[in-house]
Amino acid sequence: MESWVLWSGNGNPFGSKGKWLVRVENVKDCRTEVYQVEFVILCIGLYSGCPNIPDFPPDQGPEMFNGKVMHSMEYSAMDNLKAIEFIKRKRITIIGSQKTALDIAAECANINGFQYPCTMIQRTARWQIHGENICGINLGFLYLNRFSEFLIHKPGETFLLSLLATLLSPLRWGISKFLECYLRWKLPLKKYGIIPKSSFLQDISSCRTCKLPENFYDKVEEGSIIIKKANSFSFCKQGLIIDRESQPLETDLVIFATGFKGEEKIRNIFESPFLQKCITGSKARISLYRQVIHPRIPQLAVIGYAESLSYLYATEIRCRWLAEFLDGKFELPHVTEMEKQVSIWENFMKKHNGNSRRECISNIHIWGNDQLCKDMGCEPRRKRGFFADLFLPYGPTDYVELC
């Protein structure tokens, strides 16, 4: 595998003589069966299975707490009636600031009201949007069309595109500042001390922006939701100690909405230590060509690793690309070329996503789709007319009838 010039030996999906052995356990009778297959597609996603829970020093973790501690994964697995009964008349604390934390806080506020307020503990504030329109302008016209991508330096771009992105950088900065000013005016971020330190462009480029639940800040105003900024916290018998305060935050239930370790989940699927090392190496991020294929692991594809403003949209077009590849419509390039492309995209991710492990392509999703279309032999420009293709937002309907 390490010496191959072409993926799977010949650049085709079924070139290698090797087979995958898939061990499956029946959860009803705990019986294990082994299946031999020629190609494996991992469609397990990144947001399940392996919760990301912070580590705590001795005698400061959940074991010190008399109440209940759980991850959002456990809460989301409950049906609606069970979840309502579970959180009813409880003092609840949620750790996190992203979409899951906001949604759970809104649910708790709807059920318990201000009699049993829900507290959100945030370390880092992120930009939040309350709708698809900003001052009557659809966000798609600012971040989801080809012109918006001319403002961004893209992986593998030509010199002219790079020069254009540099020349248009003041416009890129101005759009971001305009949205920040609007959100600071529209939302009570200053009042509650949660103005993000990062720019709107940084957050949307790393898939860290999120849409607010309906009437979220109305619930904050009435006292049903309490937002607390904290650099650190630890557990005690009564609840949580925030930033070493003398008085603990008393609570009955703590829910970690702190995400998942998707890379660890994928790595642990493999029994082979060689494959475990190969899939992630020494990096936190999984290196995939077109966010689907690992250059060194044959007869395997990963679906659902690329993130965008529309997760299903980004996943579906890669499913189509994979189906065309499995059907023999195109071959993969040399392994070294794929690794070169992966490295270029990784450098782009590091620049825009920072330390985040997320494979976010939200600000260049059209650029990524263009490459997939070219691989499949399809026309990448999906709209009629020069100006329509340049300024109108791109969405799932543009790729309904590829080729």
Tokens of 381: 């420009």
Q: Mind spelling out the 3-state secondary structure of 344-399?
A: HHHHHHHHHHCCCCCEECHHHHHHHHHHHHHHHCCCCCCCCCHHHHHHCCCCHHHH
Under the banding of pLDDT at 50, 70 and 90, the label for residue 305 is confident
User: Which residue blocks in 8-93 are alpha helix, DSSP H?
Assistant: 72-76, 80-87
Question: pLDDT of 148-170, one tens digit each?
Answer: 999 999 999 999 999 999 999 99
Give the 3-state secondary structure of residue 77: coil
Task: List, in sequence order, the alpha helices (H) in 194-284.
Answer: 200-205, 216-222, 262-269, 273-280
For residues 301 and 293, what is the distance between their CA atoms, to the nearest angstrom?
5
Q: Say if residues 117 and 225 touch (Cβ distance below 8 Å).
A: yes
Residue pair 93/249 in contact by the 8 Å Cβ criterion: yes
Task: Render pLDDT for 195-242 as a digit per residue (tens, 0 to 9).
Answer: 999 999 888 888 888 889 989 999 999 999 999 988 889 999 999 999
CA distance readout (Å), 141 to 14, 49, 137, 182, 187: 42, 36, 7, 16, 22
What global pTM score does this model have? Answer: 0.87
pLDDT score, position 257: 93
Residue 347 zone, left/alpha/beta (φ > 0; ψ -120 to 50; rest) = alpha
Mean pLDDT estimate for the chain: 89
Gap between the Cα atoms of 240 and 234, Å rounded: 6
Residue from 147, 201, 182 nearest 388 by CA: 147
Does 370 score more than 90 pLDDT?
Answer: yes
